[in-house]
């Protein structure tokens, strides 16, 4: 007779909270309920009782959550943005208005090209771009161009402009300043 001995899986509120927060920081696609629990006080359920099979299932779930993509062909999500900033492999273009940057701040290593200037900036000559924006002009073949704004709407528009001007590998950070501020405990509003 093959009997599975029940195990008490000691998953405290803090453990589940930390696991969920780490999964979210790494771009995990988890349910709205799990995301809510992670951001608002952790798990409210009692400790989980189960078998060895249940424990293995939980381990597989955590592995699946941590393997979520950090970017795709249009988007760079928060974990991917952090990775790119840390590696220096990014040309991060903030398309908000200068007043917004003065009021709220900037994401690390970004430079400002307001949305109304994006198309003209991408078509100007290298020396003019550098003189105006203080950075080298991105090349059309660069795969490290990332646009961002406050919440993803203007950066998506900038991305569409860039692609129409021949920058097929440009991306945007859909979370924008709001997600950056939230993840880094900064004022966002």
Which residues carry out catalysis? Answer: 149
182, HSE (Cβ side, Cα atoms, 13 Å): 12
Distances in whole angstroms, Cα of residue 145 to Cα of each of 72, 88, 119: 13, 12, 14
Give the residues across from 48 on adjacent strands. 9
What distance in Å separates the CA atoms of residue 38 and residue 73, rounded to the nearest whole number?
28
Both tokens assigned to 131 = 């003189």
Distances in whole angstroms, Cα of residue 103 to Cα of each of 12, 23, 65, 99, 106: 40, 31, 36, 6, 9
What distance in Å separates the CA atoms of residue 184 and residue 186, rounded to the nearest whole number?
6
Three-state DSSP class for residue 165: coil
Both tokens assigned to 35 = 């995301």
């Amino acid at each position: 007779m093959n009997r599975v001995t029940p195990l008490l899986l000691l998953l405290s509120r803090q453990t589940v909270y930390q696991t969920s927060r780490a999964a979210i920081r790494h771009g995990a696609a988890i349910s709205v309920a799990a995301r809510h629990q992670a951001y608002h006080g952790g798990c409210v359920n009692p400790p989980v009782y189960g078998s060895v099979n249940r424990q293995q299932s939980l381990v597989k779930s955590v592995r699946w959550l941590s393997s979520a993509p950090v970017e795709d062909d249009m988007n760079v999500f928060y974990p991917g943005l952090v990775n790119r900033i840390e590696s220096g492999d990014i040309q991060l273009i903030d398309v908000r208005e200068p007043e917004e940057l003065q009021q709220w701040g900037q994401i690390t290593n970004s430079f400002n090209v307001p949305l109304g200037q994006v198309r003209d900036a991408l078509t100007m000559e290298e020396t003019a771009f550098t003189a105006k924006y203080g950075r080298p002009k991105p090349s059309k073949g660069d795969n490290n161009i990332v646009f961002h704004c406050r919440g993803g709407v203007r950066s998506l528009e900038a991305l569409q402009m860039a692609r129409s001007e021949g920058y097929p590998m440009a991306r945007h950070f859909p979370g924008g300043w709001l997600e950056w501020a939230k993840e880094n405990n900064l004022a966002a509003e």
